[in-house]
Structure 1
Amino acid sequence: MKAKKIIIFGESQLASLAHFYFKHDSPHEVVAFTVDRKYLKNDTFEELPLIAFEDIAEKYPPSDFFMFLPISFKEMNHLRRRKFEEAKEKGYTCVSYVSSKATTWPDLKIGENCFVFEDNTIQPFTTIGDNCILWSGNHIGHHTVIGNHVFITSHVVISGACVIADHCFFGVNSTIRDETVIAEATLVGMGANIIKDTEAFAIYLGPKPFKYHKESMDLDSLSHKSKG
């Protein structure tokens, strides 16, 4: 991977984390930080220049520099989407960070501005879109397709062959059954178990275990959509 000079958007804990990971676990060099002018209170952050986002292209032109925007899930990831699109409009290519301590395979397809922390297991035939954050310790099953602007917290299990639409959020320890479609802007709360397709913009909170009417040895298949 060719080393790139990177500008990080933000003056937050996430920005500090991004700086740390790029410094210690990538060939890239962070050269500056940027925030919107109305939030600009200092000249430096992490001992590097802190520049108004409105002026960044003049001082660090997109022909020579790349950008990374580690922004939280605020507004169901729409804030991160807006800033990502603004960076693209300025002409920047956004880099992605995938931890060397994550388990991935050579066929992984991943978009721009993704932040994949340590201890993620991403199985073969998985696709991840643009502008997604996968915090540490998740399992992403084979043949799963993750859309754009998605935030997956920690210790989330997304089983095989799931489809995750744009703007979704997954709370800690949530679990998604195999072959499930998670619709646009679904919020899956901490510890929730999703066993069927969701509705767009819906919120799902808490596990709801129940005793099934059959015994376990009577089941022909453990998949809810295909045999096997």
Structure 2
Amino acid sequence: MKKTRKLVIVGDSAFAEIALEYFEVDSTYSPVAFAVESEYLKRDSLNGVPVVPFETLSSTHPPSEYDVYVAIVYSQLNRLRTRLALSAKASGYRLASYVSSRSFVWRNVQLGEHVFIFEDNTVQPFSAIGDNVVLWSGNHIGHHSKVLNNAFISSHVVVSGFCTIGENCFLGVNSAIGNNVEVGEDCWIGPGVSITRNVPKDSIVRAPEHEIAKIGARRFFKVK
């Protein structure tokens, strides 16, 4: 794939390392550096790519020549990724996005800026993905649904049709949102949770703990 823009990835965590791989192999971006806030700068390079201070990025990698992607997960209910992305944008950087060539995003889906969509995502017609949203691998975003700004959808999540996922939300692996459901802003939906009614803002929804049954599996299924 022909490279047309140079990219700085903000962060040096596992997500940053993964983002480097995806941008290098499956995008028109050429990643040239990682950037970390000076307080957390612990190394000079990662996977052979230099790690530089975020605070002086505009002098070492000017926004006229480089774009930025902030590879931070859902820390502080996505506030950290949001703050760094807005800071880079205020400094004049264009915020990069990645949409996997192995995802299915219908032609009329509205995509915001600074999104990262992994492989095996299905984003159906008339849906909308806001700014600074991460869709990890294998999710289903149903028709006419909206994922608002700064949300993080982990893996194998189902969002049905006509849903709204509020700003800053986190949806855990294998969670499911039924049709016509609104999840308010700043919600944390745990792994394996099924939602069938609206969730107020600033809510935590967790599945009950799965207890180990007292009867053994071999006995239950009558295995000799």
Greater alpha carbon shift after TM alignment, 152-161 vs 107-116: 107-116
Aligned ranges for residues 5-20 of structure 1 at < 5 Å?
5-20=6-21
Check conservation: 2:3, 2:27, Cα contact below 8 A. no
Scaled by the length of structure 2, the TM-score of the pair is 0.89
Structure 2: unaligned runs, 5 residues or longer: 210-224
State the distance in 2 between where 1:133 and 1:70 align: 9
Q: Secondary structure at the match of 1:173?
A: coil
Q: How many residues align?
A: 208
Asked whether the 8 Å contact 1:193–1:207 carries over to 2, the reply is no
Paired amino acid for 2:87: E
Question: Who is 1:129 aligned against?
Answer: 130
SS at match of 2:105: coil
Contact 1:191 1:207 in 2 (8 A): no
Cα RMSD of the aligned pairs, angstroms, is: 1.5
String of CA shifts for 1:146-180, please: whole Å, max 9, x gaps. Answer: 11110101110000111111000101111101111
Letter in 2 for 1:103: F
Q: Point out where structure 1 has 5 or more consecutive residues left out of the alignment.
A: 209-228
SS at match of 2:42: coil
Q: Is the 8 A contact 2:3 2:30 kept in 1?
A: no
Runs (4+) off by over 4 Å:
none
- Is 1:158 the equivalent of 2:162? no
Q: In structure 1, what is the equivalent of residue 85 of structure 2?
A: 84
Letter in 2 for 1:197: N
Q: Give the Cα separation in 1 of the matches to 2:163 and 2:101.
A: 25
In the alignment, is the contact (CA less than 8 A) between 1:151 and 1:167 conserved in 2?
A: yes
What is the CA–CA distance in structure 1 between the aligned matches of 2:184 and 2:18, rounded to whole Å?
Answer: 30
- Percent identical among aligned pairs is 43
Alignment of 1:1-228 (within 5 A): 3-206=4-207
TM-score by length of 1: 0.88
Displacement of 1:113: 1.6
Residue type matched to 2:107 in 1?
P
Q: Aligned letter for 2:180?
A: E
Aligned twin of 1:212: none
